[in-house]
Structure 1
Amino acid sequence: MQNERLRAAMAAGGWTHASLAAKVDVDPKSVERWVNLGRTPRRETAIRAAETIEEDVFALWPKLRQARAARAVSPELVALYNQRAELPVSVFVDLFTQARKRIDVLVYAAVFMHEAYPRLNDLLRERAAEGCTVRIAVGDAESINIQQRGQEEEFGHGIESRCRLAIMHYRPLIGTPGIELRTHGTTLYNSIYRADDQMLVNAHVWGANAYAAPVWHLRHHDDGGMFDGYAESFNAVWATAKPVQEG
């Protein structure tokens, strides 16, 4: 979705992608994403850009108002979204792209990522080649907990088939140095998508599919906080999960 207000403000002031990027110290491709894809920059960068083109920052990027409110609740809470469906897949992709040390994924299936971004496996291989440790835990379709989740969501065997589909998507990564794929049969209270010190947590609501449940974006702030709590829960599930074999 394009940011028409930003496009108009830049045109009125004679700003190009390159000139605005140089002024606020970002890559021109970042400005292109703000304009053409509707991406929201980091708050500090957005403020500099808005001041440069003499526009209201919250008018250009309304999501920043939500982020500001979230920070007032917790220093670790970057933003809160009512439903996962509100987030474009680019948010998840950007998160993983920024990772330098660790990527952790804990889900039942989350096949929406591969469906919307077919290069996901390539991205994970690239990050692993650069030194990232990538751990992916997906649901074991034979688990009673997963079968019960399907009943609760009135999704029948759909969730089981999506777990199998997720394995099919990730299976080509098996054997890649730095990447490990496991299955788990735990009761999943939250889906977790971690990249270094940032994390997207998709809370689960009884009877609702994950796409209709809230997501909070966390950034590690202090030891022992919310971020660490979710990171520890990932590690606990990972310790019980079973490696997926080749073939």
Structure 2
Amino acid sequence: MNERLRRSMHRAGHDIASLAEAVGVSSKSVERWLTGSAPYPRTRFKVAALVGMDEGYLWPDSVDGASLAGAEIVSIYPRRNDVPGDLWTDLLRSTERNVDLLAFAGLFLTEEHSEWLPTLARKADGDVRVRLLLGDPDGIQLAARDTEYRICGGVAGRVSAVLSYYKNDMPDSVEIRLHDTPLYNSIYRFDDDIVINTHAYGLLAAYTPTMHIRRMDGAYFNTYLESFERVWGASRAVERDAR
């Protein structure tokens, strides 16, 4: 089963019949693609465009290996503020296994996206493992970031605000930890999709380049996932209030 194609069709609002009609093939052809066959190159390109995915993601065995790493990059935005607003919640809604967040605060998710907290809570109540890594208000890195941004205590205040959201609105299954590491980028992982918000000295994260990556051969994706795991291993758990 080509699970990537099936999920991409679902996200794009296509079933077998509608995709077949849009491409100009029989429903049986689409069924064969779903069970493992790959269409001809010209048809692959058309299908990929219709479902909004790269053909190398849908049929990695049909694309030469040298191009797979580049195909992992879905989009690059000059600033995080340029990321389409619905991308964050769309990725969250489609997540079935893992949500991993590494940032100093990531307050924009809770304050600018009204569906973020309730959707995250529903996912955590299901089978999705949710891990949140936020900056330690008592650590040296947040103090250094305050100096960098020339704001007195502002970053720690943002962390305290977002912690109150997650501690009060999330089920106990959500794992929250604090880190005291110098972040070179913030990481937002949703199953096989990961959004990387790069950091640049003296600039707020909202104004720095951001990449949307989708795992294929893992050349990009696995680098950031390993970074997340290293910080997770060096972090400390947040004490949750008794309920």
Tell me whether the two structures share a fold, i.e. TM-score over 0.5.
Answer: yes
Instruction: Tell me which residue corresponds to 1:107.
Output: 103
Distance 1:49 1:238, change over 3 A: closer
Structure 1 residue 119: deviation in Å?
Answer: 3.3
- Work out whether residues 125 and 171 of structure 2, in 8 Å CA contact, stay in contact via their aligned partners in 1: no
Instruction: Tell me which residue corresponds to 1:58.
Output: none
In structure 2, how many angstroms separate the alpha carbons of the residues matched to 1:209 and 1:48? 36
SS across alignment from 1:166: helix
In structure 2, how many angstroms separate the alpha carbons of the residues matched to 1:124 and 1:47? 29
Identity %: 29
- Work out whether residues 174 and 181 of structure 1, in 8 Å CA contact, stay in contact via their aligned partners in 2: no
The AA in structure 2 aligned to 1:120 is W
Instruction: Tell me which residue corresponds to 2:134.
Output: 138
In structure 2, how many angstroms separate the alpha carbons of the residues matched to 1:245 and 1:137? 13
Q: Give the paired residue count.
A: 191
SS across alignment from 2:201: coil
Distance 1:156 1:97, change over 3 A: same
The AA in structure 2 aligned to 1:219 is R
Instruction: Tell me which residue corresponds to 2:83.
Output: 87
Instruction: Tell me which residue corresponds to 1:207.
Output: 202
- Work out whether residues 125 and 176 of structure 1, in 8 Å CA contact, stay in contact via their aligned partners in 2: no
SS across alignment from 1:74: helix
The AA in structure 1 aligned to 2:203 is A
TM-score, with normalisation over the residues of structure 1?
A: 0.70
In structure 1, how many angstroms separate the alpha carbons of the residues matched to 2:194 and 2:96? 14
Structure 1 stretches lacking a partner, 5+ long: 1-17, 26-42, 51-70
Instruction: Tell me which residue corresponds to 1:246.
Output: 240
Structure 2 stretches lacking a partner, 5+ long: 1-12, 21-44, 53-66
Residues 208-236 of structure 1 deviation map (CA, whole Å, 9 limit, x = unaligned)? 0000000001111114x111010000001
Residues 154-174 of structure 1 deviation map (CA, whole Å, 9 limit, x = unaligned)? 233211110111111111255
Distance 1:114 1:175, change over 3 A: closer
Distance 1:44 1:99, change over 3 A: farther
SS across alignment from 2:164: helix
SS across alignment from 2:224: helix
Structure 1 residue 130: deviation in Å?
Answer: 2.6
In structure 2, how many angstroms separate the alpha carbons of the residues matched to 1:96 and 1:137? 17
In structure 2, how many angstroms separate the alpha carbons of the residues matched to 1:162 and 1:24? 46
Answering whether residue 153 of structure 2 is matched by residue 157 of structure 1, we say yes
- Measured on the aligned residues, the alpha-carbon RMSD in Å equals 2.7
- The ranges of structure 1 where at least 4 consecutive aligned residues each deviate by more than 3 angstroms after the TM superposition are 22-25, 43-50
Answering whether residue 166 of structure 2 is matched by residue 170 of structure 1, we say yes
Instruction: Tell me which residue corresponds to 2:112.
Output: 116
In structure 2, how many angstroms separate the alpha carbons of the residues matched to 1:83 and 1:219? 19
